Amino acid sequence: MIPKSQMYLGARIVENDPEEETPVVPYKGPVTAIEETGKGELDYFVYIRLDDESMKQKRISLCCPDKIMTCFPWTIDLEEKQKMEQKMKNKKVPDPSKRHRLS
């Protein structure tokens, strides 16, 4: 989910739909337009230009033959945010029992 205050043209978007029941390869692409629909932080939607990799997915290419997709803020994340979260998950946390103790 991306609040309006963090959205900008050119931002790299990646799908992150919490209601998606089956695991899917997420679509990705840069933001080409932002449409405001109200004053709240989630009152907007964006248009993205889908990457070639995303267009290889049948579920995407059938609904977006022109490579443009409309996305709502609660179904997407910034790609850089997801990369950071993945790095944090992969980071090894040291075993507390193996820490050096000061005497």
> Is 16 inside a domain boundary?
yes
pLDDT bin (cut points 50, 70, 90) of residue 41 is very high
9 belongs to a structural domain: yes
Measured distance CA(58)–CA(3) in Å, rounded:
29
State residue 17's pLDDT score: 85
Evaluate if residue 20 carries a pLDDT over 90. Answer: no
User: Which helix (H) or strand (E) element contains residue 10?
Assistant: none
Is 37 a member of any domain? yes
In a domain? residue 87? no
* CATH number for the domain harbouring residue 39: 2.30.30
The one-letter code for the residue type at 67 is K
Measure the CA–CA gap between 73 and 71, rounded to whole angstroms: 7
Domain that holds residue 65: 4-80
* Count of domains for the chain: 1
Q: What is the pLDDT of residue 101?
A: 54
- Asked whether residue 93 is domain-assigned, the answer is no
Question: Tens digit of pLDDT for each residue in 44-96?
Answer: 999 999 999 999 999 999 999 999 999 999 999 998 876 676 667 776 655 55
Say if 42 falls within a structural domain.
yes
In a domain, 99, yes or no: no
